[in-house]
Chains A and B, each alone.
Chain A
Amino acid sequence: MNSDSVVEGALQGAASDMSYLSLFLEADIVVKLVMLGLLAASIWSWAIIIDKVLLYARTKKQMERFENVFWSGQSLDELYKSLGSRANDGMAALFVAAMREWKRSLETPKPAIASLQQRIDRVMDLTISREAERLEKRLLFLATIGSAAPFVGLFGTVWGIMNAFTSIAASKNTSLAVVAPGIAEALFATALGLIAAIPAVIAYNKLQSDAGKLSARMEGFADEFSAILSRRIDERV
């Protein structure tokens, strides 16, 4: 890194205006990369946040609608017929998986009833875990951004301050005008890191608990449905 250019840049920075754009443009290449990376991380984490919020809202609405239909007294076979044809998620997927196993076991010439209950439970567990995974996908990225972004920003700051001190050494001038621009742009990196990290942490906590709630709700439904099917099986035997 050419120390002359550092000094020059620092002095120019002192002379020119200190807008945020110029703060970025006059930064060292490493600091620039850090800033860009943090910006990308912020964009990505916000994309995840938006995506998850929409997904959870959609899932919650679907669950409510399905529960309404399910408890409306409609026969299970009819419900299965109406749902089975399309791709489902959430509680509908759970219901369809269980019903498919039920049908498969009973509609054969020789019904396999003995361990049907266990099979249905296992299928529903599988579906729940698959749904939960779909809900929580990419949430870990938010957690990573939340914990790592401040450090990345701090790295940019340390690097920038290092350059500021290099420029002191190069110009043999300790005046604030030489150091201040470097430190300002360095601190800008930390600011970006925090800007990326804070929403990520908050959203991670919120989305995590939301996903947990949705999973718990699905598990509750699975238990109820399992109880209903178990009663039916026992009636048959």
Chain B
Amino acid sequence: MRSSLIASTVLHGTLLVAGLIALPDVERMSAEPVESLPVELLSIEELTIIQQGSKRAKQLAEASVAPTTKPKPVEDPKGETEVKSEAPVAEKPAPRQTQSAAEPAPQSEPEPSVDPQAPKQAEAEPQEVAEPAPEAEKPKLADKLVKVMPISKPRVRPRPEPEKKTKRDFDPNKIAALLNKTTPAGGGVAQDDKPAALGTANGRTNVKLSVSELDALRSQVARCWNPPTGAQGAETLKVRLQFNLSREGEVTGAPQVLNSVSHRAFPAAAQSAVRAVYRCGPYQLPVAKYDAWQTVIINFDPQQMLGY
């Protein structure tokens, strides 16, 4: 028994040591980094500022909020897209280039040496520049150029080329095409620490009062309403009232009662609703959404407003 006990102890010891040595350390499980979704909390004020936009906003390739609806100028769409991306650069040197276009030599000659890999293009271009074309013919040439270019161009794109192309392609008649077509709207409040957005057309499109804001307005009115509760069937006295508000939230003009209920107390109820609207002004509502609450229709329902 003793020998087997010793054997067993030795066995266990060996296994433990072997386990300590041979078994690899616990592998660290690699946790996949979760891509974080940046969320920025904006107050309503900040949202308004973004929507109103700023003149100083950086122009992006696409409008930040809404696409413009300006009619497209008629021209080759290919040429337009090519030029458009370089529009801000092309805008300034333009007037000078028109004058210098008449002298072909200095521009066309260095080209073969600069661009030895595209002989075809080199052939095509000097020809074009050499005969100073009349102004009317230019758009056609530009089209031709656009057609020729892609064949020789795709692989090699030496740096001087695009610059040259903008010079060639420039046409004073197409300046409109070069301009960015999204117009920055409205004079927004300057906000220095954040990149300003171009904003929507008038800063107020697609504005709707949120449910909570509507509720706020309704509760402001309901606070002041004293319907004729004593009357029999008072819960049927629903009054539909339309009224206009000024920017400051004050009632302008006379509220109109839009419905009528055949009930003795209805005139009194309607009167009380009108009084309530007057009494509770000015209402506090987000100025940015003035379009939405310029004209308000409120249902005065005794059941809902007063908890009958």
- To the question of whether A and B form a pair in one complex, the answer is yes
Binding site for B on A (CB under 8 A): 17-21, 39, 42-44, 46-51, 54
Interface class of chain B by DSSP: helix
For the complex of A and B, 10 pairs with smallest distance between CB atoms? A51-B4, A47-B8, A46-B8, A47-B5, A50-B4, A18-B26, A47-B4, A43-B12, A43-B8, A50-B7
Bound CA span A18–B5, Å? 31
Chain B residue at smallest Cβ distance from A23: B26
| Chain A residues in 8 Å Cβ range of B12 | 39, 42-43, 46
Quick check: A19 and B20 within 8 Å, CB to CB?
Answer: yes
Chain B positions 1 through 30: 1 when the CB is less than 8 Å from some CB of chain A, otherwise 0: 100110111011000000110010110000
Count residues of chain B with CB under 8 A from any CB of chain A.
13
Residues from chain A with a CB closer than 8 A to the CB of B19 are 20
Q: Which residues of A contact B23 (CB under 8 A)?
A: 20
Q: What's the Cα separation between A47 and B19 when bound, in Å?
A: 20
Q: Could you tell me the distance between the alpha carbons of A73 and B75 in the complex, rounded to whole angstroms?
A: 124
The reply to whether B25 and A18 contact each other, CB–CB distance below 8 Å, is yes
Q: Complex: how many Å from CA A31 to CA B8?
A: 23
- Closest residue of B by beta carbon distance from A48: B4
B157–chain A nearest beta-carbon distance, Å: 53
Residues of B within 8 A of A42 (CB): 12
In whole angstroms, what is the CA distance A56 to B40 when docked? 78
Query: Inside 8 A of A20's CB, which chain B residues have their CB?
Result: 19-20, 23
Evaluate contact between A51 and B26: CB separation under 8 angstroms: no
Asked if B11 contacts A21 (CB within 8 A), the reply is no
User: What are 19 A-B contacts with C-beta separation under 8 Å?
Assistant: A17-B26, A19-B20, A19-B25, A19-B26, A21-B20, A43-B5, A43-B9, A43-B12, A44-B5, A44-B8, A46-B12, A47-B1, A47-B5, A47-B7, A48-B4, A51-B1, A51-B4, A51-B5, A54-B4
Contacts of B4 in A (CB 8 A): 47-48, 50-51, 54
CB neighbours (8 Å) of A47 from chain B are 1, 4-5, 7-9
Q: How far is the CA of A110 from the CA of B20 in the complex (A)?
A: 74
Interface centre among A21, A42, A46 (most CB of B within 10 A): A46
Closest to B24 in A: A19
Residues on the B chain within 8 Å of A18, using CB: 25-26
A47 to B23, CA, bound (A): 25
Taking CB atoms, residues of chain B closer than 8 Å to A39 are 12
Residues of B within 8 A of A43 (CB): 5, 8-9, 12
Shortest CB–CB separation between residue A162 and chain B, in angstroms?
23
User: What are the residues of chain B within 8 A of A49 when measuring CB–CB?
Assistant: 8
**Minimal Cβ-Cβ distance residue in B for A51:** B4
The distance in angstroms between the C-alpha atoms of A49 and B4, with both chains bound, is: 8
B11 to chain A: which residues have CB within 8 Å?
A: 46
Query: B19's closest neighbor in chain A, by CB?
Result: A20
Residues of B within 8 A of A17 (CB): 25-26
The chain A residue sitting closest to B1, CB to CB, is: A51
Q: In the complex, A49 Cα to B1 Cα: how many Å?
A: 10
Which residues on A sit within 8 Å (CB–CB) of B9? Answer: 43, 47
